[in-house]
Chains A and B, each alone.
Chain A
Amino acid sequence: MNHRSNYIGYAIARLAQSIVVIALAYTFTFLIINVLPGDPITNMLLDPENGFSPADIEPIIAYYGLDKPVLEQLWIALSRFVVGDLGISLRSNLPVSGLVLSALPSTLVLALSALAVALVVAFLLAFASQNLPPRYGQGLLRLLPAASLSVPAFIIGIFLIQIFAFQFGLFRITSPNSFAATAFAAIALGIPVSAQIAEVLIANLDHEARQEYFSVARSRGLSRFELFAHHQFRPSSLPVVTMIALAIGELLGGSLITESIFGRTGIGSLVQGAVSSQDYPVIQAVVSLAAAVFVIVNLIADLVYPLLDPRLRTRNRGREPLADEPLVDTEAVAK
């Protein structure tokens, strides 16, 4: 069918676009790190306080091509990045890809549980915003997403630790990978994200309730639940796919500070360590990988969305109806 080949064309175009964006994100990060401050790696290596001997420095300079022009350095780095080589850490002398891989699982667990928390909270809030009778504090509940958007993850985290670790002893900060500690870290990271999703979801639900088809469905004698489920919730929930994809950035960035507060090791603490020890290849790798993850997740969301929304699934037929009524009734004319 025609729309299928159109979809494939669209997918290929989006894929190409994503690859370009990832490469550009790598370049952009490279320029920020290597060009703006003026050859920081060499400076860092030559700083006597860091204790590198000339024998240490030489292979590093050769490896990164630090004696060559910046564009050539970028080309060396980019061609390694394309094949998955993230370089060598200046501090530990280990491949960066290994460092990232060992840090990744912990961060993935945190980010995915935070996403789960965010979705559960957002959907509960959205459901309550439509179905809770006004006298049971629906108005107050509707203020909640906007309010929790004003509270950053690190403040939520510290409060959770103060209350649940120190006051109630529900978890111990000294064992950050325990289930309870992970759960609270996920809450801290997930709440701001849930607020964003809930806000959009509630706005969509309100929007659907104002649509003519909602009232027409009501005039067909549907029960409250059927109305909510089929004519309000279903069309409202589709954009959540896009929201989740956009939230990935928030979750990755937020894991930095959440891991620091809860004392977890992971990508966040890897970056923090790299920043304080000026281990630039690690910073470069993590930032460009985060960008790549964000771009790929958004690519998937964009490719899945047309399959979920029938209006986009057959969007080429939208302009030309399957079979329009003929404008002239042949019988009418014949008369």
Chain B
Amino acid sequence: MTLLIPTPVTRRRTRFAAWDVPLAVILSFLFVTLVIAWSLFPSLFAGYDPYFGDTSRKLLPPSGEFWFGTDHLGRDVFSRVVHGSWSSVTSAAIAVCIGLVVGGFLGLVSGFVAGWTDVIVARFIDVLLAIPNFLLAVVIVSSFGFQTINVAIATGIASVAIFARVMRAETLKASTSVFVEASGLLGGSRWHILLRHILPNAYRSILALAVLQFGSCILIIAGLAFLGYGDPPPAADWGVLVSNGKDYPSSPWLVFAPSLVIVATVLAINRISRWLRR
């Protein structure tokens, strides 16, 4: 009955009437699906060999035949981007899984068990948060060895803290809610409350976070690959492509094309996450 809270501004948007999904989210889903398809069946999309080129047609600008142009060895950049999506996408997926499982578990325990467990886990989360994400990943990779799989694990460990923090907050919010107390009064055990009330209520934010982290893991992994901490060339990880391309300033497509794919992918993922969070 408050008089002054203005009714939310209803924005005109194109929506898919049946599901009430904004058009931008549909497009984002389509694009992410496409990228995943690239990574699973690269040969369906890439017309050329990503590793061996024809030096007679090196450094060609984008054209109908070579959508993203060719590199200094005459390799088709589009084919390399498509083949590189496998390592970028799976690394990010591995990283998110590590963050989600480890961080989610820590957050859940700390939020639900409370007491000393909470204090200890909370300090551990503080430690992980204190070390800058990117630096932490660099340290872990440097001590595990320069490989794409280690990059993925390092990125995953670096994202544990954020998952733990959000999960803890969601758990605390749900476990102090009235319906959880009500369930206790109605005879619900702690396990019942955890599995049937707290997890379902935390699920949506955690899902949105996982999607969001998938995007930022792609960025971190590309950054680490860019610095040369992943599999060495001729591997075609997106970050490696950008890194190789920057040595040929007169052929800007070598940088622009993979950059564009990275940005578009992350943009689409972020849009989906935002939609899930709403």
| Any A–B CB pair closer than 8 Å | yes
Mark each residue of chain A from 267 to 300: 1 if its CB lies under 8 Å from any CB of chain B, else 0.
0000110010010000100110011001100000
B126 touches A146 (CB 8 A): no
Mark each residue of chain B from 130 to 165: 1 if its CB lies under 8 Å from any CB of chain A, else 0.
111111101110111100000000000000000000
> With the chains together, A20 CA to B124 CA distance in Å?
10
Complex partner residue of A32 from B143, B227, B267, CB under 8 angstroms: B143
A214 nearest CB neighbor, chain B only: B4
- Is B6 engaged at the interface, CB distance under 8 Å to the other chain? yes
B270 touches A256 (CB 8 A): no
B264 CB, nearest partner CB in chain A, Å: 8
Q: Which residues of A contact B223 (CB under 8 A)?
A: 152-154, 257
- Is A249 engaged at the interface, CB distance under 8 Å to the other chain? yes
- Is A24 engaged at the interface, CB distance under 8 Å to the other chain? yes
A154 touches B270 (CB 8 A): no
A25 touches B130 (CB 8 A): yes
> With the chains together, A28 CA to B138 CA distance in Å?
14
> With the chains together, A139 CA to B13 CA distance in Å?
12
B134 touches A253 (CB 8 A): yes
Q: Which residues of B contact A290 (CB under 8 A)?
A: 131-132, 135
- Is A254 engaged at the interface, CB distance under 8 Å to the other chain? yes
A252 touches B252 (CB 8 A): no
- Is B105 engaged at the interface, CB distance under 8 Å to the other chain? no
A256 touches B249 (CB 8 A): no
The residues of B with any CB-CB pair to A shorter than 8 Å are 2-6, 11, 123-124, 126-136, 138-140, 142-145, 215, 219, 222-223, 226-227, 229, 242, 246, 249, 252, 255-256, 259, 262-263, 266-267, 270-271, 274
Complex partner residue of B270 from A20, A29, A150, A216, CB under 8 angstroms: A150
Mind listing 14 A-B residue pairs with CB under 8 Å?
A21-B127, A29-B139, A33-B142, A36-B143, A37-B144, A152-B223, A155-B242, A155-B259, A158-B259, A159-B256, A257-B226, A272-B227, A275-B142, A278-B142
B222 touches A152 (CB 8 A): yes
Q: Given that A152-B223, A290-B131, A295-B130 are contacting pairs, would A159 and B139 also be in contact in the complex, using a CB cutoff of 8 Å?
A: no
A210 touches B6 (CB 8 A): yes
A250 touches B249 (CB 8 A): no
Q: Which residues of B contact A275 (CB under 8 A)?
A: 138, 142, 229
| Interface residue SS majority, chain A | helix
B136 touches A215 (CB 8 A): no
- Is A151 engaged at the interface, CB distance under 8 Å to the other chain? yes
The residues of A with any CB-CB pair to B shorter than 8 Å are 17, 20-22, 24-25, 28-29, 32-33, 36-37, 40, 139, 146-147, 149-155, 158-159, 161-162, 166, 210, 212, 214-216, 219, 249-250, 252-254, 256-257, 260-261, 271-272, 275, 278, 283, 286-287, 290-291, 294-295
Q: Which residues of A contact B271 (CB under 8 A)?
A: 146
> Would you list the 9 A-B pairs with minimal beta carbon distance, nearest first?
A253-B134, A215-B4, A253-B132, A150-B266, A249-B132, A150-B267, A291-B130, A275-B142, A152-B219
Residue picked from B2, B134, B274, most chain A C-beta under 10 Å: B134
A287 touches B4 (CB 8 A): no
A151 nearest CB neighbor, chain B only: B263
> With the chains together, A303 CA to B54 CA distance in Å?
63
A38 nearest CB neighbor, chain B only: B143
Q: Given that A33-B143, A287-B136 are contacting pairs, would A146 and B6 also be in contact in the complex, using a CB cutoff of 8 Å?
A: no
Q: Which residues of B contact A139 (CB under 8 A)?
A: 11
> With the chains together, A154 CA to B238 CA distance in Å?
12
Q: Which residues of A contact B222 (CB under 8 A)?
A: 152, 154
> With the chains together, A253 CA to B224 CA distance in Å?
11
